[in-house]
Structure 1
Amino acid sequence: MSDYLESLLGDRERFRPAAPESWNAIEDWLGKTLPVDYKKFVDGYGDAIFWSHLFVPHPAGGDPLLKFMQEERRYLHDSYAEVLDIPDAVRESWEYVVPWAYHDWNGDVCLLVPGVDDDQWNVAVAFRQCPGFLWVEGGVSEFLRIIVREKKFPRGWPAGDVRWQSMPDSPLV
C-alpha cells in the first residue's frame, strides 16, 4: 500500500509512524479499526496540507488527530442536524463517520464511512457552504487516485498538482 501511495503522492514526507498507542486511542474512541491505507497515508504524509488547502492531521501533529476527529464530528452533526438530503450510506453510519481531513478553502470535511464489512470503508466529502455530499466508493487511496490521476476534484475545490506542505511548527519535522 505504501508503494501505491508513493506512486500517487511522491516519496513519504514523514518517516516515523505514529505511536501504536495513539492509533489505539483513536480506534478505541471510534469503536472500529481504521483502514490500513488511511493509517499509512497519515503516517507518511500527515500534519500537512495538500493542494494548498486540504489539511490532513496526524496523531502527534500540532492539531492532534483524535482531537480533530472529535471536534469535526461534533461540528458535522450539529451542522447537518436539519439537512434531509444525506445519502443513505452516510446516514446509516452517522454515529461512526470519521472526519479525516479538512478543506480550508470552503470548510468541507472529508469523512471515512464504514461499510457493511469491518474492513470496508468509503469516503464522503461533506460540503459545508451548500450542504450536500460527494460519495466515493473505496477508501482514501481511491479518493486520492481520483484526484491525482483523473484530476477530478470535489466541487468548489481549486484544482492543481499534488503539493505537500508541512504544517508550520509541526512537531513531526
Structure 2
Amino acid sequence: MEDDTGAAWRNLPQRPMVAPPDFWTLPEGRRARGHLMGRQYGGSGDNLRNLVPLWAIANRDVMKGVEMDVAGVIKEGGQEVKYEVLAIYDGKKSGVPKSIHIEAHGMLGLNVDCLVMNNNEPKEKVNLSVVPVAWDGEMRRVDFREMIDVDSWSSPTPVEVWLGIEEWAGGGLPGDFKEFVDLYGDGIVRGHLYVPHPCGAEPLIDFMKRGRESLRSVAHHYLGDSRSPRFDVDSVIPWGYSDWDGDQCCLVPRGKEAWDILVEFRQFGCVRLYQGCFSTFISGVLSGTAAPPGWPGSGPLWKALDRSPLV
C-alpha cells in the first residue's frame, strides 16, 4: 500500500528508517513506527510486515508497557510464552490500524489479552476476558468451562477486590488461579475440595489469612520433617481446603513470576510441593489422574456452595 506522500519504503528524512504505509498521514511529532513484534523479542525495524503506523502516545505509553511486562516475565521467570499480535483495521482504505490486539499466554500462568487503542488518548487499553483460559505445564490451552460443564458464576470479581487480595499477598497472583476462582470459587470440586471466592460466603482474603495463621502454628513440625520441603510461611497463599481429610492447598512463589502448589497433608504430618502452574494441579484433580494421595478420584466435578451469596 502507498499513500499520497510517497512510497511506503521511502526513508524518513531524519533517520535512515523505512516507514509503514500511511505513516505520514499522522501528525508530525505525534506518530510512531509501531513494531508488532517488539524489539525486546528481536522484532525487525526494517521489515514492513512488522511495522504499522501508531499514535506516539499509544505506542510509547501503552503498547511498550505491555511488551516490557511480558518481556520481564520471560527474562526473570524462565517462562515459555506464546505471543501473538494482530493489527485491526476499520475497513477503510487506510494503513493506520484502529487497534492492536495482544495475547501472551505462558506455561506458568501468564495470561495477557488486551486491545491497545490506536488514538491520541492517554493510556487507552481494553482488557479482554471473553473466555477465561490458561496454559498447563505442557503448553496446552486449558479452558475451565470445557473441563467443568456446568453453569459458573457470571459476574467477575470487582477489580478493587482483587487488588486488595494481591496487596495482602504481596504482589500479583497467577492469572489462571484468578480465572478459576472467578468462575468456580465458593464451590466444591470433586465433592471435597472447597475453593473460596473473593465475594463468597467466606471471602477469599479471610480464608487466606486464617489458613496462613493455621499453617504458621504447625509449620515447625513440617520444617523439621525430612519428607517436607523447606518453605516460608509468609510467602504461602492458602486457596483451598479438602474436607475429606483436612488438607490445605496453597500457592507458593517460585521465582518472580512462577508458582507451585503446596499441599499440607494434615493426616500424614507433612507437606508436599507440586511443581507447575495452578492449571496443571487443578486439571489433575478434576480428571482424577493426578490427585494428591488419599484424595477421592471421583465425585461431582463441581457444585456451588449451598450457602453461597453468589447463588
TM-score, normalised with respect to structure 2: 0.52
Of Structure 1 and Structure 2, which has the larger fraction of its residues in helix? 1
Higher alpha-carbon deviation: 106-115 or 151-160? 151-160
Question: Which of 272, 287, 294 is the matching residue for 1:156?
Answer: 294
CA distance in 1 between counterparts of 2:287 and 2:302 reads 16
CA distance in 2 between counterparts of 1:21 and 1:36 reads 16
CA distance in 1 between counterparts of 2:155 and 2:196 reads 15
1:171 aligns with 2:303: no
Q: 1:65 to 1:137 in 2, by over 3 A?
A: same
Q: 3-state DSSP class of the match of 1:143?
A: helix
Instruction: Tell me how far 1:61 sits from its aligned partner.
Output: 0.2
**Sequence identity of aligned pairs in percent?**
37
1:87 aligns with 2:226: no
Q: Which structure is larger by alpha-carbon Rg, 1 or 2? A: 2
CA deviations on 1:69-127 (whole Å, 9 max, x unpaired) are 00010001102223213313xx1x4311100000011110011011112x211111110
Question: Which of 178, 185, 193 is the matching residue for 1:46?
Answer: 185
Specify every segment of 5 or more residues in structure 2 that has no aligned partner in the other structure, as ranges.
1-132, 135-141
Q: 3-state DSSP class of the match of 1:44?
A: helix
CA distance in 2 between counterparts of 1:8 and 1:132 reads 30
Specify every segment of 5 or more residues in structure 1 that has no aligned partner in the other structure, as ranges.
none
Of Structure 1 and Structure 2, which has the larger fraction of its residues in strand? 2
1:124 aligns with 2:266: no
Letter in 2 for 1:51: R
CA distance in 2 between counterparts of 1:65 and 1:52 reads 19
TM-score, normalised with respect to structure 1: 0.90
Instruction: State the match for 1:8 in structure 2.
Output: 147
Instruction: Tell me how far 1:149 sits from its aligned partner.
Output: 3.7
The higher relative CO (CA closer than 8 Å, separation ≥ 6) is in 1
Q: How large is the RMSD of aligned CA atoms in angstroms?
A: 1.7
Report how many residues are paired: 169
Letter in 1 for 2:261: V
CA distance in 2 between counterparts of 1:11 and 1:52 reads 14
Instruction: State the match for 1:36 in structure 2.
Output: 175
Q: 3-state DSSP class of the match of 1:114?
A: strand
CA distance in 2 between counterparts of 1:8 and 1:164 reads 10
Instruction: Tell me how far 1:150 sits from its aligned partner.
Output: 5.6
Instruction: State the match for 2:285 in structure 1.
Output: 147
CA distance in 2 between counterparts of 1:45 and 1:14 reads 7
CA distance in 1 between counterparts of 2:235 and 2:216 reads 11
Q: 3-state DSSP class of the match of 2:261?
A: strand
* C-alpha contact 1:47 1:61 (8 A) present in aligned 2: yes
* C-alpha contact 1:148 1:161 (8 A) present in aligned 2: no
